[in-house]
Amino acid sequence: MVSKVQLRQEVFKSDACMIADWLKDNEVTQYLNERQNVSRSIEQVIYRVNMPILTHLFNQDGSFFVVTTKEKEPVGFLRLVPKSSGAEMVIVIGDKDKWGKGLGTNAIFEGLKHAFFNWRVDEVVAKIHCKNKRSQRAFKRLGFTEDKELAKEIQYSISMNEFLQLAS
């Protein structure tokens, strides 16, 4: 798969501002499990911390990546959170003009490479809101299978072996 995106680990102040703006948009956040005031929390950090790079603040519970186009334009973010069975992936394409262009699928693929080859996990899961059909399609396209239905979410997973078959 030729990727249309890159995952950048550095989170600059300008990225944090953009992420805060995306997280104020109900269309972007309607299927997320983020706290209601998460954009305000990010804004408070931006004003409180006098540093150009905020990477360390975004990586406290795992690995956080800014999803960028090949032209280095930020379009979303991806987070990998360690779990006992492996890792959980959360992805957001915050730039709504870029929806439906395959960037999310590409970012998921790049995130899987990081989880399996850098973290060396055996499995990656994603908990996707039952009504988030676009996200469900993106994960299924990359070989994730439905594990179980939760209250408002469906858990999908992919193993290292399944990913290697897909990637070869």
Domains of the chain: 5-167 (3.40.630.30)
Identify the DSSP state of 140. Answer: H
pLDDT over 90, % of the chain: 68
Tell me what the pLDDT averaged over the chain comes to.
Answer: 91
Mean pLDDT of all residues in 120-136: 95
Instruction: In whole angstroms, give the CA distance from residue 92 to residue 135.
Output: 9
Q: pLDDT tens across 41-58, in order?
A: 888 888 788 888 888 888
Rg of the chain, C-alpha, whole Å: 15
The pTM of the full predicted model, rounded to 2 decimals, is 0.91
pLDDT for the residue 29: 85
Q: How far apart are CA 89 and CA 128, in angstroms?
A: 10
Contact 127, 155 (CB under 8 A): yes
**More confidently predicted of 2 and 165:** 165
Q: How confident is the model at residue 36 (pLDDT cuts 50, 70, 90)?
A: low
Enter the tokens of residue 164. Answer: 């290697």
- Could you tell me what percent of the chain has a pLDDT over 70? 97
Decide if pLDDT at 40 tops 70.
Answer: yes
